[in-house]
Amino acid sequence: MDGKIGFKIKGDFQRSSKELIEAFKNLGSCAVSDGLNKFNTVHHSLKPILDDTVICGNALTVKMRPGDNLMLHKAIGIAKPGDVIVVDTCGSETNSVMGELMAMAAFKSGVEGIVVDGAIRDIRELKKHGFPVFAKCVTPAVGDKEGPGVINDVICCGGVAVLPGDIILGDANGIVVIHQEEAIDILKQAEEKLSKDEKRMEEILKGVITKPDIDRILRDKGVI
C-alpha cells in the first residue's frame, strides 16, 4: 500500500517454522553470535527491561520520524502471533514511542517481543507486567501521531540492517539478527560452537585449565 512520500505499508513476509525459531531461542544470543562470525549484533545500548527476557521471532519492521509513533500503532494492529516488532526511531531519544497501553495491546495480540531503538516510558508498569521489551532509553515525554513512517521495509536497529522477516533473537546478553536465507547455516555453526564449548567445560572440570591452542598461538607469535 502506497501513500504520500514517507508513508508506506509494504506487503507481508514469510515467517520461519516454529521449530527453527525454537532452536535459535534455545541456543541463546552468544552461541548464535558465534555462528554469525560476530556480525549482526545490535548495539549494546539496547537492553531488556527485565534481565531474564528471551525473545525469538520474525521481524515486523517499523521506521518512524523522530518523536512520532503513528506507524507503531498500525504495526501493533497488523502484527501476527510470534512476531517481533523492531522499531527504528531515526536515533530519537527525546520522545517515548511506546508505553503501557501500546505494549498491552501488542502482547495481548500474541506478539513475541518489541525492540525499540529509541525511548519508551511507563517502565515500572512494563516491568510489573513482565513484558519482553528491549529499548535504548526511558523518558516520560510522549511523541506525536502524525507520521510519516514505513512498515515492513529495511530499517536500521542498533547499527544493524534489519529486513522484514529476519529472525530476531534477544536475551540478557544482547540482540542478534539472522537473515532467513542464512538461517540454517548459522544454526549449524552455532550448534557446533556450543558443542565445542560444552566439551571445553568438561576439560576444565577435569583440570585442564589452559587450552593447548593457547600455547600454540603463543609459540607461533614467538612469546614462548
Q: For the chain, what is the radius of gyration of the CA atoms?
A: 20
Alpha helices in the chain (DSSP H): 18-27, 29-35, 70-78, 100-108, 123-129, 183-205, 212-220
Three cell numbers at 207? 583440570
What is the model's pLDDT at position 90?
Answer: 95
What's domain 7-191's superfamily in CATH?
Ribonuclease E inhibitor RraA/RraA-like (3.50.30.40)
Instruction: Identify the CA nearest to 114 among candidates 104, 156, 122, 124.
Output: 104
Query: What grid cell was written down for 146?
Result: 502524525
Instruction: Work out the pLDDT band at 3, boundaries 50, 70, 90.
Output: low
What are the tens digits of pLDDT across the range 163-206? 999 999 999 999 999 999 999 999 999 999 999 999 999 999 99
- Asked if residues 141 and 95 have their Cβ atoms less than 8 Å apart, the reply is yes
Q: Report the pLDDT value the prediction gives residue 222, as an integer from 0 to 100.
A: 92
Domain ranges of the chain: 7-191
Residue matched to cell numbers 614467538: 222
Mind listing the pLDDT tens digit for each residue in 41-54? 999 999 999 999 99
